[in-house]
Amino acid sequence: MAVAVYVAIIVLIRLSGKRTLAKMNAFDLVVTVALGSSLATVALSKSTKLVEGVLGIAVLLGLQYVVAWLSIRSKKVRQLVKAEPQMLLHNGQFLERALRKERVTHDEVRAAVRQQGVLALDQVAAVVLETDGSMSVIQHSDQSQSASALEDVQGQVGKEQS
């Protein structure tokens, strides 16, 4: 039975699309844990039928699809499901309020900068904590270019902190 459930979950994940396999936000983590729990229940429980387990997994993946679809079309749903990216460092200066809010240390930001091969914080235009928990490091470049990639980031210069 475990093999059948495993094959079913692989087929259902492939049918649900690439979004299911994307980097996780909080909602995706909940779905992943629920899928694992469902798989374990069906594989180990003699009282749960294969059809019931596969149906439960299909419902979870269907709900994830619907929420992803709605979040693309509705800002309110997107705000409910996903966190906003948060700037942690701007022009080489730590944004202390943002660091506290996101529970990130100076050392973690420095590690992200080092991973990008940057030696000095003053070479960094911004470090952004993304919605999936990763950190993006943006180095200084031609100042005449637009910073449009930072448009949705909390804590950017000229945008109020929330």
Q: What pTM did the predictor assign?
A: 0.64
- Do 105 and 80 contact (CB within 8 A), yes or no? no
Structural tokens at position 46: 């003699």
The radius of gyration of the chain's CA atoms, rounded to the nearest angstrom, is: 21
Q: What is the pLDDT of residue 27?
A: 74
Read off the pLDDT of residues 54-82 as tens digits, 9 standing for 90 and up: 898 889 888 888 888 898 899 898 888 77
Nearest to 27 by CA among 88, 79, 101: 79
Q: CB neighbours of 32 closer than 8 A, spacing ≥ 6?
A: 24
Q: What is the pLDDT of residue 15?
A: 74
Q: What is the pLDDT of residue 22?
A: 56
Q: What does each C-alpha distance from 160 to 9, 57, 139 come to in angstroms? A: 44, 41, 23
The overall average pLDDT reported for the chain is 83
Q: What is the pLDDT of residue 96?
A: 97
Q: For residue 27, is it left (φ>0), alpha (ψ between -120 and 50) or beta?
A: alpha
